[in-house]
A and B are shown apart, each in its own frame.
Chain A
């Protein structure tokens, strides 16, 4: 049923329909509306779960790890500084292979303090072993939660997921959302079947010491699981489409890319603006298309290579920067196209909530056509004097 919902509330209701049994979260702007809604839903007995008002994000994810180890489906949500504080636990969750799903309401990292949107927070967890899915709008932000649980809990994967969506731009914006009913959600996402869990009758230990004779193999297994996750993500996304009409089988999604000279690559809500800009550029006779990356981890290298094989140039928009190097998506797209002659140009954009308009996209396309790239786009030069 279509409903007009704030992004945060849509996500909270989707999470409710995923039936997590334990929720632990610490409030942080702009994630608060999600966890407040869930606290109320649990307090109203509309969801049979424990909601723990922990004392920090570190405790939030630690409690989630414990609950997952004990065999529960769990949920948390955070952003920015909160995610940074979880860093240590994040590696442990992935290393112990607990299929936790967490929403990241993307926000810039301090200092300086900023509550506005970019992707630096989740991108900083690139190497932790968490899958990372980026939503373009409220609908995708809700749908990706069902899919994330299904992929994470698949016994061929057993890796945690971050469902990432842009702070304010999605979390605080009202849009029509087609919300699954509980029956639909249940038919798609079966109850959690832990692969391994704490069980007094069959004791096992998690997180023990791995000597140099074993550690390498643990990381290798993690890497293999992340690679396997590509196919599982595709099949879970396809199944979702077959059941509810919205197909998520692609880890990337193309828009007017078929005959494009310039391909823009982007993630998250920015893709909506890019699509509008592309329509205008196309009207003006410019052949521009978009390749949206939905899954940053696992990274669909082969899909990207084939999707971009026919273009003359690629402009990658990154709402993050590896200081001294480039944006994360730019580096990986360049890697995907290694060996081809297609130039890949990086644009660091929209950090700390700087607004991006259609004319900015047009300006970037112009720069790309001239071969100007690997820059911060939109700097206020007068501030740098």
Chain B
């Protein structure tokens, strides 16, 4: 079986814009699932609402496409009622950190045995590009026409602080690393949070001087550095530019978890 067998062919073609990063993240996820050897009938994909959240509908397994922001509580119910299932949540920065922000910190605190994959494109993509809680200060969106004046959330740091057992951040440029991180998350009991910076050429790049798809992917390549390296730079008194995004594994630990298969 290959990762491609996990797609629901009758649902393709997908609705994503050409150049959207979401497809890459879905591919990486299915490659990780395939490599681990999970079975279709033991795996459930849960998502909220958004372009990112459409992902669950393109996969052959059972899936729950829920309401905006509520993927985590729905997934909590699925996992706790049947811990034998592998439960993966697809979500977006709006779904997870805006309307569903409360559920995010509580799912991490309870450390429920879920794999949560957030496609962070720093924008509400599906509704036409309004500013989200991860839109960087100064970035343009349809609700921040002269630049966002609010500070953005760092979702991975938030997950670490709230108690998730595994946290990593990569980008849709880092295909190999992302696939490995998703696999590691799936193997770790407790809540695994994998954040992936993902390009949204239509509603983010276009407005923020990253007009071509490749511009945004280049940006993710050139403006990321391993978290450990950035820590070392700071310790040695070096200045880290504000637009550099920390990537890599943020935490891997063994706090008590809920919903783990017995």
Which residues of A are in contact with B by a Cβ distance under 8 Å? 26-29, 32, 35-36, 39-40, 43-44, 51, 53, 55-57, 81, 85, 110, 113
Contacts and interface: CB of A to CB of B under 8 A. Distances in A.
A57 B94 CA distance: 13
B143 A36 contact: yes
Contacts of B133: 55
Nearest to B133: A55
Across the A-B interface, the 4 shortest Cβ-Cβ residue pairs: A56-B99, A55-B98, A39-B143, A36-B142
- Size bin of chain B's contact surface: 20 to 34
Nearest to B126: A29
Contacts of B101: 55
Interface in B116-130: 124, 126-128, 130
A28 B127 contact: yes
Given A39-B142, A43-B146, A27 B65 contact: no
A26 B99 contact: yes
B21 to A, nearest CB: 21
15 contacts: A29-B128, A32-B130, A32-B142, A35-B143, A36-B128, A36-B130, A39-B143, A40-B145, A43-B144, A51-B143, A53-B150, A55-B101, A81-B49, A113-B49, A113-B65
B67 A32 contact: no
B143 A81 contact: no
Contacts of A51: 143
B130 A55 contact: no
A32 B144 contact: no
A36 B131 CA distance: 10
Contacts of A28: 127
Contacts of B127: 27-29, 32
Interface of B: 49, 65, 67-69, 97-99, 101, 124, 126-128, 130-131, 133, 142-146, 150
Contacts of A29: 126-128
B171 to A, nearest CB: 24
A32 B126 CA distance: 11
A81 B124 CA distance: 16
A220 B145 CA distance: 46
B67 A27 contact: no
A39 B127 CA distance: 15
Nearest to B124: A27
A171 B128 CA distance: 15
Given A36-B130, A55-B101, A81 B67 contact: yes
A359 B6 CA distance: 46
Nearest to A110: B67
Nearest to B130: A27
Nearest to A41: B145
Contacts of A113: 49, 65
Contacts of A81: 49, 67-68
Contacts of A44: 145
Contacts of B68: 81
Given A26-B99, A27-B130, A56-B99, 8 more contacts: A27-B128, A32-B127, A36-B128, A39-B142, A40-B145, A44-B145, A55-B133, A81-B67
A110 B130 CA distance: 23
A53 B67 contact: no
Contacts of B144: 39, 43, 53
Contacts of B97: 55
Contacts of B131: 53
